[in-house]
Structure 1
Amino acid sequence: MEPFVVLLPLFGALLAMPIGRMVSARAAELTTIAFVLMACLIAWVLFFDVAVGHNARTIQLFTWIGSGNFIADWAVKLDTMSVIMLVVITSVSSLVHIYSVGYMHDDASRPRFFAYLSLFTFAMLTLVTADNFIQLFFGWEGVGLASYLLIGFYHHKKSANDAAIKAFVVNRVGDFGFALGIMAIFFIFGSVGFEEVFQAVRTDAVVTPFNAADGAPISELTVGFLGLELHALTLIGILLFIGAMGKSAQFFLHTWLPDAMEGPTPVSALIHAATMVTAGVFLVCRCSIIYENAPDAATLVTFIGATTAFFAATVGLLQDDIKKVIAYSTCSQLGYMFFAAGVGSYGAAMFHLFTHAFFKALLFLGAGSVIHAVHHEQDMKKMGGVRHILPFTYAMMIIGTIAITGVGFPFLYDIFHFPVGTAGFASKDAIIEAAYAAGTEGRTGAYYAFAMGLIAAVFTSFYSWRLIFLTFHGKSRAPDHVMKHPHFPPNWMLLPLAVLAFGALFAGMLGYKSFVGDKAASFWGNSIYIAGDAHAGGESHAVEAYAAEATPPVEGDHAETPAIASAEDPAGAAHDEAEEHTEGYGEEGEGHHFPLWVLYAPLLAMLIGFGTAFAHYMRGSDPLRPGLLREGGILYSFLKNKWYVDEVYRFLFLNPSRRLGRILWKIGDGRIIDGLGPDGLSGLAGFGSRLIVRLQSGYIYHYAFAMLVGIGVILLIVRLGGAQ
């Protein structure tokens, strides 16, 4: 059964277009939906079997690549991390497939679209079930290919083609780093298998790099790279993270993500919520043991993630395209996930990945419903009053907004012993608190991440409510024919919104204890490094440990902390007597050991953003009046132009590349290679023939004269030769 969770979407992708040609487009749609739904059902069964039933396993299917010591099997790895991703991917993909039946009903290329969607799903499932870095890289490149096809689905539009090429090229930059990281792993460890690599790091094994005379414990091993002697694990961590930066659109390699909105809206929901952009977070969390032993690489992850969270939130403040607002929101939320992993809270990073899938897919599909209704208009300044024609979509978008902004009630934690609020409240607050806790433990960059996370929370609330107020409230700013004759979304589009809304409301409360609460150690098992997570085990403390061989907690009134290996006690024997932790959002010294202001700071940030947006867009007669920033001002232009990152790249890379290409084309290829080569020789022949043609006057006396001159020259040569 296990391999079919990966293969079923591939079957749908292969059959969609033939069935579309031979039967009908609707048959192709139903075929792909059926296969993805079956995969979703299997994924949920595996989730309860593996994550809840603690029955992790790896199924080796066949040897994919074998050359000397280089072995890469094709396998289906099932542990808590992979089954969580299976559930997220197949669930959101199923809903996107169903939604697309209504959204794409007028498109003549529906079979091709559904084939691409299923191919995308298959590639991502391959990635998350990989048992080695090569298989993971196969899925990694597969989602890159599928994203190129889907972003450029409207290939008749130049903007869509440009966006697809941009996404493909920017991701190649990150993938180059990822490929180098895989090469470095094989060079150092002699294997690309997860178990072999992670076990060597976990036990600080003596490792001898390829062709090296002597080895060293992996924690001390250095290798030469670009003329420098670098810590081996730090080098590997940085190279892998470069790949994650490209795929998950982190600062410097984020520029492709907003342009990806050129694809159909269901594509945006699939890329941004459940598949491609989460691959980088998954990679870092999968390699958590590497980053815990490479603090400099982890600091880089923290810094880039926190900067991305802040950067994307500031840019989202002034975007007018409804899809681009949500796109920059995705970029910002991914930053949260990365800096959570950077400070060692991998459980919180995966928790936010899980909850984010629900409310972000809900927001994108809700935005698609709005765009569908207003005749494919995407500028929020040309909307307004849409709640009167789309009341259900309005309600769903409100749910998505309160989820992403983190509406919740922290003071109820002492009563219920889990965060009472929306999904974003549970997971995002856990990340912010984890950053603060890591800062108190001296983790580099943690306080910076904490500050950036709080500021980004203010901006997230502002731009999210700005979207609601500009789109759904006030007087309509759309043409009369749009509001009088809207395209009402069919039930195919509304049903997925309701399902996602349930997840956006309750996923955080339902998953909190397992992901980051007192059940985290047994829930994650050997799939993630959990010690040092401010929420794993219910207490923030810096224990150098890895839960690879953790004993499941004893069921009862008070679950005991499992025995875990540490630097001082590798076997975990020092933890015979487990500590009991009191959880709660109380005074410092109780529960999570956070000051009260830290616990309430995210809620206050959300209220500040909401209040500011409400005051500007709801209390005035004209929501489009000049805002908090003066149009044309330096700061306004800086944010409106997205920090001028595209312009800087154009100046530093694009324009010099064009100039260099033109020089190589015009001078190198045209003048030198062709000029001195085939073009030069043919030109010389032509020049000679033109000279000869001039001698052909057509007059007999000219030819007779030339013959006499020639005879005279020949006689002279003969005479001179005879004289010698």
Structure 2
Amino acid sequence: MIYKLIVFLPLIGSIIAGLFGNRIGAKASEYVTSGLMIVVAILSWIVFIQVGFGAHEGEGVIKVTVLRWIQSGGIDVEWALRVDTLTAVMLVVVNSVSTLVHLYSIGYMHHDPHRPRFFSYLSLFTFAMLMLVTADNIVQMFFGWEGVGLASYLLIGFWFKKPSATAAAMKAFIVNRVGDFGFLLGIGTVFVLFGSLNFETIFAAARTYLEGDNANEVVINLFGMTLDRENAVTAACILLFIGAMGKSAQFLLHTWLPDAMEGPTPVSALIHAATMVTAGVFLVARMSPLFELSHDALTFVTIIGGITAFFAATVGLVQNDIKRVIAYSTCSQLGYMFVALGVGAYGAAVFHLFTHAFFKALLFLGAGSVIHAVDGEQDMRHMGGLRKHIPITFWVMTIGTIALTGVGIPGTIIGTAGFFSKDAIIESAFAAHGGAARFAFVLLVVAALFTSFYSWRLAFLTFFGKPRASADVMHHVHESPPIMTVPFLPLALGALFAGVVFHEYFIGHDYDHFWQGALFTGPENHILHEFHNVPTWVKWSPFVSMVIGFVTAYYFYIVSPETPKKLAESVRPLYLFLLNKWYFDELYDLLFVRSAKALGKFLWKKGDVAVIDTYGPNGVAARVIDVTNRVVRLQTGYLYHYAFAMLIGVAALVTWMMLGGAQ
């Protein structure tokens, strides 16, 4: 019963606020949805302790059937809740962050007239994510996957009268549909290969799928290619990963993520910290037994993850919108997670997902507090000198920053949450074999330097130096109310201590006892043991990168504030390249948007108007009207016209009879 309550209480809250919010009022909607989320968060921690720390040891996967769902042909799937350690981790992450976002939103959205609708959307988003992480089959996962996409569209475009918000919501929805198309093809491929959509059946079959002489057996024709078992599994994994690329904003399908900042700040915290963007990471982790069958697919995951981490970090260096800097940071950190998945360090990937939720939610909610204090301003160039005016926000964002940059002492247990999880990924990339892993290792170390720079740049521009806001704005700067600052405390504790508390379970000696088979731990996967024994210089490389980034940012924005402007002018093409996000938006606009509009206009003008309308129904109708207009002219209503017509007719008849008689 506890598992059903965790999943369905947010749905009940969403329905109450959505359908009856205007009757019960905004306050009641806030209290109902937030109260139910508090209950759900407490239950999630209970499940996490029970499942992850031994209470259910030996039971394996806990399966709770909700109802019979689809029985058609060879498809037989139940709507069931699959609870193992991976699920328990995600329940804690999703529900803890969602609960704090609900509470924070009571203060942040206080003046919005549509609060019941907003809280209904928040709870709907949470329910959809819970459906995704508790799925027992891939179709059920896709149901939650699409539910998350719908709810994110509603939340990003919540202020639908704002053109930029509606455009951002459309962009997120469309880009994710591109990834979802790959996900759907992947689901179909998996069904053809294994004859089932249930995880247990797929994972059991995957253990022996490539053994013996069956690996070269032709099993599927895909995109005109005849594929044997090995290549078919690779195709299935890559298609599934394309879905993950869209949802988790990986390189090439990343363009929607920064624009999603147009939604309210609590939405940014919910989407970018723990829920929607981590769905792709969860998908690959859940399907790890399948991905382990394809070295090529894992290589592809590694390369895309490494490029994403580096690309997003470069763009974050020069952004001026406080929320966009944090958004690109999220994109970069997701790249770290996918590198870990690609090299087989699944525990490290989920560990970073877990710790990242705390400090990234803290940074987003802190940014919202800053924006609240400076009357809606988001450009960091118009801030400065705020640390004495909003001290609580300053300290919690400082905690979030040191956790994101990975402050800690290598080789010890002294460090923030990000130190333990991010360093584990970097060390895993070095320990893994192959050129792709080493390529990713270099990119991750460079990204760590950039992450430190743009994180401290944000802190220095926002809280230090002389105030750059107007005197009127500075006069009204104030700390956020307790309903907004209280949620900072558990997030700050997680950002500081989640690493040292949980690292032995996620990636250390208690790995097997904790995960209990929820993640792939096959005998050929040596990365779990090898990354602990990398050279000392590898362990210290992220620390050195972090220090270089901090010192550079300190010099640029505290010691010599005029240096960044001079540097930007001296390398203006590079600066504009990064400021315009590698021109991906412009490139996609040219390749897809404008070309689609041009094709549509051509088909409209030349196809629809010139051909179909001219020669089709409209053309026939026009000819009929033309003929009838001409015939109408013969009906004048004058008697002598009709007499004259009759005379001509009689004359013609007589002439015909005479000619006929002569013959």
* TM superposition score normalised by structure 2: 0.95
The number of residue pairs the alignment matches comes to 654
Q: Does 384-393 or 138-147 show the bigger shift?
A: 384-393
Q: C-alpha distance in 2, partners of 1:124/1:721?
A: 92
Greater percentage in helix:
2
CA displacement at 1:648 relative to structure 2: 1.6
Please say if 1:85 is aligned against 2:90. Answer: yes
Question: Measured at CA, do residues 698 and 69 of structure 1 come closer, stay the same or move farther in structure 2, by a change above 3 Å?
Answer: closer
Deviations along 1:367-409, whole A, 9 cap, x unmatched? 0111111111111111112223211101111111111011101
2:582 is matched with 643
CA displacement at 1:17 relative to structure 2: 2.8
Q: C-alpha distance in 2, partners of 1:637/1:172?
A: 30
1:209 is matched with none
Please say if 1:95 is aligned against 2:100. Answer: yes
Would you say the 8 A contact 1:16–1:111 is kept in 2?
A: yes
Please say if 1:162 is aligned against 2:167. Answer: yes
Deviations along 1:198-221, whole A, 9 cap, x unmatched? 111123477xxxxxxxx9646866
The correspondence for 1:485, drawn from 476, 481, 500, is: 476
Q: Does 158-167 or 118-127 show the bigger shift?
A: 158-167
Question: Measured at CA, do residues 718 and 313 of structure 1 come closer, stay the same or move farther in structure 2, by a change above 3 Å?
Answer: farther
Would you say the 8 A contact 2:344–2:527 is kept in 1?
A: no
Please say if 1:369 is aligned against 2:360. Answer: no
Would you say the 8 A contact 1:371–1:378 is kept in 2?
A: yes
Q: Does 707-716 or 679-688 show the bigger shift?
A: 707-716
Where 1:21 maps in the other structure, the secondary structure is helix
Would you say the 8 A contact 1:278–1:353 is kept in 2?
A: yes
Where 2:269 maps in the other structure, the secondary structure is helix
Where 1:73 maps in the other structure, the secondary structure is strand
1:323 is matched with 323
CA displacement at 1:534 relative to structure 2: 6.5
Q: C-alpha distance in 1, partners of 2:232/2:284?
A: 16
Deviations along 1:513-551, whole A, 9 cap, x unmatched? 000011112111111013566773xx318xxxxxxxxxx
Where 2:569 maps in the other structure, the secondary structure is coil
Deviations along 1:314-339, whole A, 9 cap, x unmatched? 11111111111111110000000001
CA displacement at 1:620 relative to structure 2: 2.5
2:393 is matched with 393
Q: C-alpha distance in 2, partners of 1:712/1:305?
A: 94
Would you say the 8 A contact 1:516–1:535 is kept in 2?
A: no
Q: C-alpha distance in 2, partners of 1:280/1:361?
A: 18
Q: Does 660-669 or 173-182 show the bigger shift?
A: 660-669
Q: Report 1:299-338 matches (<5 A).
A: 299-338=299-338
Please say if 1:296 is aligned against 2:296. Answer: yes
Please say if 1:14 is aligned against 2:15. Answer: yes
Q: Report 1:86-485 matches (<5 A).
A: 86-204=91-209, 217=214, 222-230=219-227, 231-411=231-411, 413=412, 419-438=413-432, 442-485=433-476
The correspondence for 1:600, drawn from 540, 550, 564, is: 540
CA displacement at 1:659 relative to structure 2: 1.3
Question: Measured at CA, do residues 425 and 682 of structure 1 come closer, stay the same or move farther in structure 2, by a change above 3 Å?
Answer: same
Q: C-alpha distance in 2, partners of 1:614/1:716?
A: 112
1:610 is matched with 550
Q: Does 55-64 or 110-119 show the bigger shift?
A: 55-64
1:540 is matched with 530
Structure 2 spans left out of the alignment, 5+ residues: none
1:682 is matched with 621
CA displacement at 1:470 relative to structure 2: 1.1
Question: Measured at CA, do residues 631 and 375 of structure 1 come closer, stay the same or move farther in structure 2, by a change above 3 Å?
Answer: farther
Identity over aligned pairs, percent: 56
Q: C-alpha distance in 2, partners of 1:483/1:489?
A: 15
CA displacement at 1:60 relative to structure 2: 2.1
CA displacement at 1:444 relative to structure 2: 4.4
1:571 is matched with none
Question: Measured at CA, do residues 723 and 679 of structure 1 come closer, stay the same or move farther in structure 2, by a change above 3 Å?
Answer: farther
Where 2:559 maps in the other structure, the secondary structure is coil
Q: C-alpha distance in 2, partners of 1:494/1:511?
A: 26
Would you say the 8 A contact 1:345–1:530 is kept in 2?
A: no
Q: C-alpha distance in 2, partners of 1:632/1:621?
A: 17
Q: Does 112-121 or 384-393 show the bigger shift?
A: 384-393
* TM superposition score normalised by structure 1: 0.87
Would you say the 8 A contact 2:320–2:379 is kept in 1?
A: yes
2:511 is matched with 520
Deviations along 1:571-627, whole A, 9 cap, x unmatched? xxxxxxxxxxxxxxxxxxxxx32211101000000111111111111112558x515
Equivalent position amino acid for 1:634 in 2: P
Where 1:43 maps in the other structure, the secondary structure is helix
Q: C-alpha distance in 1, partners of 2:618/2:138?
A: 49
- The CA RMSD over aligned residues, in Å, is 2.1
Would you say the 8 A contact 2:391–2:479 is kept in 1?
A: no
Please say if 1:663 is aligned against 2:602. Answer: yes
